[in-house]
């Protein structure tokens, strides 16, 4: 368990999750807990059920077996109210400007558009998007679209962020910029975050704990504590012996 | 702590004016040329072969007829235009309403959609005389034919547009606290608009023809009626003049719908959400 596990309560608790899509067994007996404001990474081969797992947590699907509990809430509707999902594709609406996309959750809850925009504006400034508020998605670069998509997820003001391969579509230089950006954003706005990725480095760098899943049907094959000293440049972290050792273990678990 | 590397916008917004003009010419130039050449050839053949004007009129004869009979033609055009626009308006209204009904009500979709599809094998044209019998010789039988003509593509555009929305957007919206109505207003309807407009454009091309069919089935005015009269008198040039008017009407309606589409959904040309 993580050091903070002793002091903080579990935010999410999964017990014995199994799920099938017809003939396809997607998840086989997944059990784990996430603590409040912990960042948990999930890595695994593609098709192993990572997205399915996030859907189950979010309440978008009810797993065939097992329970998901978020702050004592267990019904899909209650879970839906507590989670915000950021998918791999930015899914920005092309008929809305960046700021209107980011503020959509507030409008969904019945807030007036002008007011929702006013609430989103400070975030644009804080997260390096000032002056891009009125751009439409096609006028933004891939990295910026992903930032707007993340702000949209933040603006939902949920305790739990489910990030499903948020940077997989970006080139590697943009991606490492985005990883640092995300880290600083989450430090400013702490949330309980699940980060699904197929990039082992990304998981180790950004999260407190990494779960390695097996090929389909997905099971947890290993849990890695990533208590790395993060107050160093990225280059130093990824070349440090602790990091290399963790990566080695992760890759071994992935059978790579 | 910020990746500034990608802050530049993906593309520059400026396009030079001369390039736009050139591309417009590249697009419209060749078809225009074909049209002009065809008309010239047509004129030439009629002149050289000395075809009698009641068998086949030349472009100049048609233009002369249009000049001579202009007020008359415009009067009939106004009748046909009214039928076309009112019928099209009804089709848009009921097409959208029906499409939304089928979208929101599973029961309506199950029971009505198969009927809607099957009803398409009924040739609408043959219903025109029935409308005349029931509704008389006035505006309404024609409006009914036009509306029926245009209704189907608009309904289908609406339903297809609404159902082809990427599920991922809906899943995302659900986690962002959207209600059924919020998803409809902010995702489903806007992303269905391109297909709805496609349906309306198809409908717009049918509308004027629907009005003419309606007039043929029974009427006392309109371009279709005038055409029948002219045919009886072997006034071929007037028949062609009517055809010119009907064509211009159909093209204009198509053009207006396309223009409204461009103004309403500028984002659609840059690639929508599917
Ligand atoms: N809605 C669905 N219907 C049928 N099969 C699905 C559905 N969603 C996912 N699957 C299948 O379940 C497995 C796990 O999918 P997913 O959770 O998306 O994997 P991952 O996100 O790890 O790549 C895959 O084999 C996929 O084809
Ligand atoms: Mg996935």
Is the separation of the CB atoms in B268 and B193 below 8 Å? yes
Strands (E), A79-168: 83-86, 160-164
Domain edge (last residue) among A157, A174, A205: A157
On whether both A249 and A177 belong to a single domain, the answer is yes
CB atoms closer than 10 angstroms to residue B4: 10
What is d(CA A139, CA B2) in angstroms, rounded to the nearest whole number?
Answer: 20
Q: For residues B137 and B131, what is the distance between their CA atoms, to the nearest angstrom?
A: 9
Mutate to test the interface with A, among B174, B176, B180 (most CBs of A within 10 A): B176
Of A41, A47, A166, the one to substitute when testing ligand 1's pocket (max ligand atoms within 8 A of C-beta) is A47
Predicted pLDDT at B192: 95
- Domain range enclosing A119: 91-157
Please give the pLDDT value at position A232: 81
The confidence score (pLDDT) of residue A188 equals: 85
Assess whether A54 and A128 both reside in one domain: no
Reported pTM: 0.84
Q: Do A176 and A107 share a structural domain?
A: no
Q: Which of the two residues, B271 and A11, has the higher pLDDT score?
A: A11
> Which two three-digit tokens encode residue A148?
């707007």
Q: For atom 18 of ligand 1, which residue has the closest CA?
A: A51
> Domain tally for chain A?
2
Q: What is the pLDDT of residue A88?
A: 85
H helices present in chain B, as ranges: 17-49, 59-68, 70-104, 106-119, 128-135, 139-163, 167-175, 180-183, 189-217, 223-232, 236-264
From A157, A177, A194, give the residue that closes a domain.
Answer: A157
Residues of A in contact with B186 (CB under 8 A): 93, 104, 107-108
pLDDT of residue B179: 94
- pLDDT of res. A4: 41
**Residue ranges, chain B, pLDDT below 50:** 1-14, 272, 274
Q: Is A42 touching ligand 1 by the criterion CB < 6 Å?
A: no
Fold (CATH) for B58-270:
MetI-like fold (1.10.3720)
* Beta strand ranges found along A61-137 (DSSP E): 65-70, 83-86
- How far is the C-alpha of A90 from the C-alpha of A142, rounded, in Å? 9
pLDDT band at A184 (very low <50, low <70, confident <90, very high): confident
The encoded tokens of residue A137 equal 């998605």
* Exposure of A153 in the CB half-sphere (CA atoms within 13 A): 31
Residue A141 Cα, ligand 2 centroid: separation in angstroms? 23
Nearest CB to A180: which of B1, B179, B186?
A: B1
Q: Identify whether residues A64 and A188 lie together within a single domain.
A: yes
Reported ipTM: 0.85
Distance CA B122, CA B143 (A): 18
Q: What is the DSSP string of B220-236?
A: SSSHHHHHHHHHHTT-H
Same domain, A226 and A119: no
Give the Å distances, CA to CA, from B123 to A11, A107, A191, B127, B143: 63, 46, 61, 8, 16
The residues spanned by each domain of chain B are 1-50, 58-270
Do A76 and A147 share a domain, yes or no? Answer: no
Q: How far is Cα B22 from Cα B136, in angstroms, rounded to an integer?
A: 52
Shortest alpha-carbon distance between residue A144 and chain B (Å): 7
A87 and B175 in contact by Cβ < 8 A? no
Q: Do A203 and A249 sit in the same domain of this protein?
A: yes
Decide if A95 and B176 are in contact by the 8 Å CB cutoff: no
Q: What is the distance between the alpha carbons of residues A214 and A220, in angstroms, rounded to a whole number?
A: 6
8 Å CB contact of A89 and B273: no
Give residues 134 to 163 of A whose Cβ lies within 8 Å of B.
135-136, 138-144, 152-153, 156, 158, 162
Using CA atoms, how far apart are residues A56 and A216, in angstroms rounded to an integer? 16
- Nearest chain A residue (CA) to B179: A108
Nearest-CA distance from A20 to chain B in Å?
19
Kindly state the tokens that stand for B40: 């010239």
Sign of CA dihedral B153, B154, B157, B158: negative
Note whether B175 contacts A: Cβ–Cβ < 8 A: yes
Q: How far is CA B122 from the centre of its chain?
A: 20
Residue A164 CA to ligand 2 center (angstroms) comes to 7
The whole-angstrom separation of Cα A11 and Cα A84 is: 14
The residue with tokens 């929305």 is B165
Let me know whether A134 and A170 are in one domain. Answer: no
Q: Specify the CATH number for the domain of residue A63.
A: 3.40.50.300
Residue B91 CA, chain-centre distance (Å), reads 11
Coil, strand or helix at A229: coil
Residue A47 pLDDT greater than 70, yes or no? yes
How many whole angstroms from A206 Cα to the centroid of ligand 1? 25
Chain A residues whose beta carbon lies within 8 Å of the beta carbon of residue B271: 94, 138
Quick check: A177 and B3 CB within 8 A?
yes
Of B175, B134, B215, which is closest to residue A54 (Cα–Cα)?
B175
Q: At what angle do helices B189-217 and B128-135 cross, to 10 degrees?
A: 70
Among the candidates A142, A157, A172, a domain finishes at A157
A138, B271: Cβ pair inside 8 Å? yes
Tell me whether residues A84 and B169 touch, CB distance under 8 A.
no
| Distance between Cα A47 and ligand 1 center (Å) | 6
The sign of the torsion formed by the CA atoms of A48, A50, A53, A59 equals negative
**Nearest C-alpha neighbor of A93 from the set B192, B179, B191, B189:** B191
Q: What is the pLDDT of residues A68-120, one digit of tens each?
A: 999 888 899 999 999 999 988 899 999 999 999 999 999 999 999 999 999 99
Q: In this structure, are A197 and A241 located in the same domain?
A: yes
Which residues in chain A are contacts of B2 at CB distance < 8 A?
Answer: 128, 177, 180-181, 184
The residue whose CB lies within 8 Å of the most ligand 1 atoms, and thus the one to mutate among A52, A63, A89, A221, is A52
Structure tokens at B238: 């007037």
Q: Considering only CA atoms, which of B166, B176, B183 is closest in space to residue A153?
A: B176
Residue B230 is encoded by which pair of tokens?
A: 């002219």
Beta-ladder partners of A168: none
Q: Spell out the residues 6+ positions from residue A228 whose beta carbon is closer than 8 angstroms to its own.
A: A204, A205, A237, A240, A242, A243, A246
Q: Which residues of A touch B178 (CB under 8 A)?
A: 104, 108
Output the average pLDDT for chain A: 89
Structure tokens at A20: 């099938």
């Amino acid at each position: 368990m993580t050091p903070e596990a002793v002091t903080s309560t579990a935010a999410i608790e999964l017990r014995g999750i199994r799920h099938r899509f017809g003939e396809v067994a997607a998840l086989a007996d997944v059990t784990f807990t996430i603590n409040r404001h912990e960042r948990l990474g999930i890595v695994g081969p593609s098709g192993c059920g990572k997205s399915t797992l996030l859907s189950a947590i979010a309440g978008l699907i009810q797993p065939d077996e097992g329970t998901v509990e978020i702050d004592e809430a267990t019904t899909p509707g209650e879970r839906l109210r507590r989670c915000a999902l950021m998918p791999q594709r930015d899914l920005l609406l092309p008929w809305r400007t960046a700021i209107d996309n980011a503020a959509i959750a507030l409008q969904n809850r019945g807030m007036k558009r002008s007011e929702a925009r006013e609430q989103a504006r400070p975030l644009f400034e804080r997260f390096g998007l000032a002056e891009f508020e009125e751009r439409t998605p096609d006028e933004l670069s891939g990295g910026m679209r992903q930032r707007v998509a993340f702000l949209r997820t933040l603006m939902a003001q949920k305790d739990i962020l489910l990030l499903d391969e948020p940077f997989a579509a970006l080139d590697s230089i943009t991606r490492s910029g985005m990883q640092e950006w995300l880290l600083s954003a989450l430090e400013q706005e702490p949330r309980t975050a699940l980060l699904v990725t197929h990039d082992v480095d990304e998981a180790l760098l950004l999260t407190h704990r990494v779960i390695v899943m097996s090929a389909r049907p997905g099971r947890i094959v290993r849990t890695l504590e990533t208590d790395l000293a993060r107050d160093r440049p990225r280059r130093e972290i990824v070349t440090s012996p602790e990091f290399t050792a963790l990566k080695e273990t992760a890759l071994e678990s992935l059978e790579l | 702590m910020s990746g500034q590397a990608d802050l530049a916008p993906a593309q520059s917004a400026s396009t030079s004016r001369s390039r736009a003009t050139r591309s417009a010419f590249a697009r419209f130039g060749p078809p225009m040329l074909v049209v002009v050449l065809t008309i010239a050839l047509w004129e030439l053949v009629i002149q050289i072969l000395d075809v009698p004007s009641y068998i086949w009129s030349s472009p100049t004869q048609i233009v002369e007829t249009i000049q001579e009979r202009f007020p008359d033609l415009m009067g009939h055009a106004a009748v046909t235009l009214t039928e076309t626009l009112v019928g099209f308006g009804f089709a848009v209204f009921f097409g959208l309403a029906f499409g939304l009904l089928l979208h929101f009500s599973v029961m309506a979709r199950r029971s009505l959609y198969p009927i809607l599809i099957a009803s398409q094998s009924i040739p609408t044209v043959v219903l025109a005389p029935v409308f005349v019998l029931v509704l008389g010789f006035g505006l309404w039988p024609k409006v009914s034919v036009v509306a029926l003509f245009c209704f189907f593509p608009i309904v289908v555009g609406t339903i297809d547009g609404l159902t082809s929305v990427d599920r991922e957007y809906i899943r995302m919206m659900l986690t962002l606290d959207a209600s059924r109505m919020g998803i409809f207003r902010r995702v489903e309807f806007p992303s269905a608009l391109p297909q709805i407009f496609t349906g309306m454009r198809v409908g717009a091309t049918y509308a004027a023809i629907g009005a003419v069919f309606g007039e043929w089935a029974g009427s006392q005015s309109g371009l279709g009626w005038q055409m029948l009269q002219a045919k009886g008198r072997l006034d071929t040039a007037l028949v062609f003049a009517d055809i010119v008017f009907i064509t211009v009407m159909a093209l204009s309606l198509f053009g207006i719908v396309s223009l409204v589409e461009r103004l309403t959904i500028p984002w659609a040309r840059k690639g929508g959400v599917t």
